[in-house]
Amino acid sequence: MVLIYALGAASVLVPAVLIPVAATRWAPAAQRSRAADRLRVAVAGLTGALGRNGAALVVLLAGSAAVVTVCWPLGEALSRLEPSVDHPVFDYVHARRVDGWAEVNSFVTALGDRYPLKWVTVVAAVGFAIAWRHRRWWIPLIALPMQFVVEQYTQQILAVTVNRGHPPTDVGTYPSGGCARVMLTFGVIAVLAGLTWNVSRRGRIAIATALAVLVSVEGYTRIYAEKHWLTDVLGGWIFGALLLGVLVLTVLVAEGRVRPPARSVHVAPVEATTTA
């Protein structure tokens, strides 16, 4: 019983420690990597050929297809862990459920349901559109509802293609849509907030940490509320993170924030040759 509460505490403490470390040590290196430079060059080429809006649409469609391509075999691999991982974890939690703690988890996990997040999406979209009234105001008005729709349909595609089972207490399947929806909705809101106001680096790290804690807690509550297998939650975290990256890049491209890297080009001198 103590282990279950310890895991609940870990769902808060682990991302609260890990995200600041990742943001200060790993994120800068990733931004300076060759892969990031190549992505900037590719996006700049798309923007030059199709304009911001056309490039953003290509990024969204190609990125969503890539997420499905990655998460499909991932789901098949996680499905094989159902007998050895999911069933023992489910049985362990089910045998040790406490009514009061179960009610708390059921209340918290509802944050990842579509109905409350629809209202969060609508209110945030209108609020940011007003805040952006002197710039490309339609970007948040489209981006926030779009993330909701893209998540729903890509998640359904994966649920059908992987076609795995679900716990006997609910119909939740791979990947956990609740975890992905929380990550995408509040992740896109966080990015739009960063584009709207001058948020310091520490503020950005704090926002990213809060988002990670929220998603981690959502995963814990989905398991304790017996809505998903453990591997559904793991898949939902990966699926949500990948799709959030696609949507963030889409917003940045539409806003014109992705530029090719400034590199000095050194051209080797060409020796003149003569023919006899």
> For the segment 197-239, what is each residue's pLDDT rounded down to a tens digit?
989 999 999 999 999 999 999 999 999 999 999 999 999 999 9
Distance of CA 93 to the CA centre of its chain: 27
Tokens, residue 124: 């945030």
pLDDT at 85 over 80: yes
For residue 5, pLDDT beyond 50? yes
Angle, CA 123 vertex, CA 117 and CA 128 arms, to 5°: 120
| pLDDT above 70 (res 276) | no
Average pLDDT, integer, range 49-74 = 96
Confidence of residue 27 (pLDDT cuts 50, 70, 90): confident
Q: How would you classify residue 229: left for phi > 0, otherwise alpha for psi between -120 and 50, otherwise beta?
A: beta
Whole-number pLDDT of residue 263:
59
Contact by Cβ (8 Å): 82, 231: yes
DSSP string spanning 179-217? HHHHHHHHHHHHHHHHHHS---HHHHHHHHHHHHHHHHH
pLDDT band at 31 (very low <50, low <70, confident <90, very high): confident
Does residue 274 register a pLDDT over 60? Answer: no
The closest alpha carbon to 188, from 136, 137, 143, belongs to 143
pLDDT of amino acid 135: 87
Distance CA 44, CA 263 (A): 14
Q: Is the pLDDT of residue 118 over 60?
A: yes
pTM over 0.75: yes
Which residues, 6 or more positions from 148, have their beta carbon under 8 angstroms from its beta carbon? 114, 117, 118, 121, 181, 184, 185
Determine the Cα–Cα distance for residues 192 and 172; give it in Å rounded to an integer: 30
